[in-house]
Structure 1
Amino acid sequence: MWKPHLSDRPAGVGGTLPGISVIVPAYNEEQRLQASLSRIWSFLSQRFSAFELIVVDDGSTDATVRVVEAFAVDHHSVELIAYQPNRGKGYAVRTGMLRASYDLVLFSDADLATPIEEVETLLARIMAGADVAIGSRMVAGSELKVRQPWYRELAGRSFNLLAQRMATPGIVDTQCGFKLFLGPVARDLFNRISEEGFGFDIEVLLLALRLGYEVAEVPVEWRHCEGSKVRLLRDSARMFSTLVRVRKRHHAVRSLRNERVRV
């Protein structure tokens, strides 16, 4: 079974980090996207040898597209992908991941609940041998600067316990919107997934584990931001359905490990 070696991993030049693609899914984010893009672009331009910032507008009905277009006029390496109608976060992230050009690919939520600077912590684990490094709010060392309301936190912990039993053993936080992949690994995984909603993280991580990729769960700084698109009662039921569905969809993957196509 092919697995990336350290020699396959991209190296930086001088004091900069290697090239990276950053994917930001966006749905009706006109109010906070300008500030987020400015922070991401400024950090990438200072720390990475090359980068692209890909915003995927998931059928927004507000001025999100115009905000990105205006930002791109004065900032190089910014790309907008926009489509109608709204398809879901998983569809948006998959679209961006499969458009990415570089050998490191990060997806980050538009609200920057996890600061973009935390990518360096994730990258350290990639360079040490992991294929996927995911931000986590629930492992030792994480810093919750602003916590969620207690009922959301309880629901999140309960769901992750269920996810560990049904799909992603050993991963305690599947839903943090800050995940870094080696480019070839991202292309392999996102070409295989079907989930278009918030449950796509579960499918990606289930496949990563079953295909034998090394997934590192990394403590990060995180703060709750108002304006979440997740609706607790509605989406909790959908997430449980996702767990059942992806387990069934990929039940045979474990037996196919040795047949994975080299990427």
Structure 2
Amino acid sequence: MSHEPQTEATATPDAVSPYLSVVVPAFNEEKRLGPSLKRMLTYFDSQPYSYEILVVSDGSTDGTEELVRRIAACRSQVRLLAYTPNRGKGHAVRYGILRAKGERLLFTDADLATPIEEIEKLHSKLDAGYDIAIGSRDMLGSELVKRQSWLRETAGKTFNRFVRLITVPGIHDTQCGFKLFSRSAAHTIFSRCRIDHFAFDVEVLYLAIRVFEFRVAEVPVRWAHQEGSKVHLLRDGLRMVHAVWRIRTTRYRGITAPSLELPLQ
């Protein structure tokens, strides 16, 4: 597996690891990323803990990387990680998680479909002793401010039923892009992940629950559909179904961490 050299817009502020790392996978997100980063910075500046935001450009060809560089030049908490070519959301999240320095690691979608303020609900679960807390759009207490189209919503619910049957029973929503991990759980899981595309969430939860027996809390969150989804319903849907079956039939115990040209920092 080869990569072009990563680019980092700025170094970590100091040698002390931040309390929270936020990993944001981004593929051609120039239009949506600016407001999202501004909202995250405003929110985390008001919190009592230190943080870093790692934007992982997954082979972007628009102005995503230049946008992040400009913001990082003014805000030391922001770092850009970039590589080419495009490898998929799962690869981007894994790339960022394995380079994050925080005690807790969140990955969130660039569009902030789940508002960043919802992280407080996830933090409370880790405070209570859980290793992982995941946002859910399909539980009692979830608030869907703006729904997807009927077709996408139906397809998503059908996929989640299939996932519960085959891989992770008890999890209502594997695909919500808002998940918080302890550092130990994150590195144990993501160092063993293989799936690069949108089914990576299922692999992460399968490893967490069925292989390593981490404590996982599913938490109802606010969520609003954002236009511009990169998921192609038919192509990616079929790929995800196939991947779920592969996950169920793969032996994960004992596999080694993926070989990366860059040192994990």
Q: Aligned AA for 1:226?
A: E
Structure 1 counterpart SS, 2:123: helix
For normalisation by structure 2, the TM-score amounts to: 0.87
Structure 1 vs Structure 2 CA RMSD: 1.1
- Residues 82-126 of structure 1: per-residue CA shift (max 9 Å, x gap): 111000000000000001111100000000000000000011011
- Equivalent positions of 1:156-171 (< 5 A) are 156-171=156-171
Match status 1:193 vs 2:193: yes
- Residue 223 of structure 2 corresponds to which residue in structure 1? 222
Structure 2 counterpart SS, 1:99: coil
For 2:198 and 2:37, the matched residues in 1 are separated by 22
Q: Aligned AA for 1:220?
A: V
Deviation at 1:77, TM superposition (A): 1.3
- Residues 61-87 of structure 1: per-residue CA shift (max 9 Å, x gap): 111001100111111211100111000
- Residue 28 of structure 2 corresponds to which residue in structure 1? 28
For 2:48 and 2:239, the matched residues in 1 are separated by 38
- Residue 14 of structure 1 corresponds to which residue in structure 2? none
For 2:155 and 2:194, the matched residues in 1 are separated by 24
Q: Aligned AA for 1:238?
A: R
For 1:193 and 1:29, the matched residues in 2 are separated by 24
For 2:49 and 2:181, the matched residues in 1 are separated by 17
- Residue 11 of structure 2 corresponds to which residue in structure 1? none
The runs of at least 4 consecutive aligned structure 1 residues that moved more than 3 Å come to none
Match status 1:246 vs 2:247: yes
For 1:46 and 1:96, the matched residues in 2 are separated by 24
Q: Aligned AA for 2:49?
A: S
For 1:110 and 1:240, the matched residues in 2 are separated by 24
Deviation at 1:152, TM superposition (A): 0.4
Q: Aligned AA for 2:185?
A: V
Structure 1 stretches lacking a partner, 5+ long: 1-17, 257-263
- Residue 184 of structure 1 corresponds to which residue in structure 2? 184
- Residue 261 of structure 2 corresponds to which residue in structure 1? none
- Residue 235 of structure 2 corresponds to which residue in structure 1? 234
For 2:48 and 2:38, the matched residues in 1 are separated by 15
Q: Aligned AA for 1:213?
A: F
For 1:128 and 1:118, the matched residues in 2 are separated by 16
- Residue 8 of structure 1 corresponds to which residue in structure 2? none
- Residue 86 of structure 1 corresponds to which residue in structure 2? 86
- Residue 213 of structure 2 corresponds to which residue in structure 1? 212
For 1:174 and 1:48, the matched residues in 2 are separated by 30
What is the percentage of aligned positions where both structures have the same residue?
52
Identify which range, 241-250 or 112-121, moves more after superposition: 241-250
For 2:28 and 2:48, the matched residues in 1 are separated by 29
Deviation at 1:48, TM superposition (A): 4.0
Tell me which protein shows more helix as a share of its residues. Answer: 1
For normalisation by structure 1, the TM-score amounts to: 0.88
Deviation at 1:41, TM superposition (A): 1.3
Identify which range, 43-52 or 121-130, moves more after superposition: 43-52
- Equivalent positions of 1:53-64 (< 5 A) are 53-64=53-64
For 1:22 and 1:46, the matched residues in 2 are separated by 16
- Residue 154 of structure 1 corresponds to which residue in structure 2? 154
Identify which range, 136-145 or 38-47, moves more after superposition: 38-47
Structure 2 stretches lacking a partner, 5+ long: 1-17, 255-265
Deviation at 1:28, TM superposition (A): 0.5
- Residues 127-154 of structure 1: per-residue CA shift (max 9 Å, x gap): 1111100000001100000000000000
For 1:68 and 1:43, the matched residues in 2 are separated by 18
Tell me the matched-pair count: 236
Structure 2 counterpart SS, 1:106: strand
Match status 1:97 vs 2:113: no
Structure 1 counterpart SS, 2:98: helix
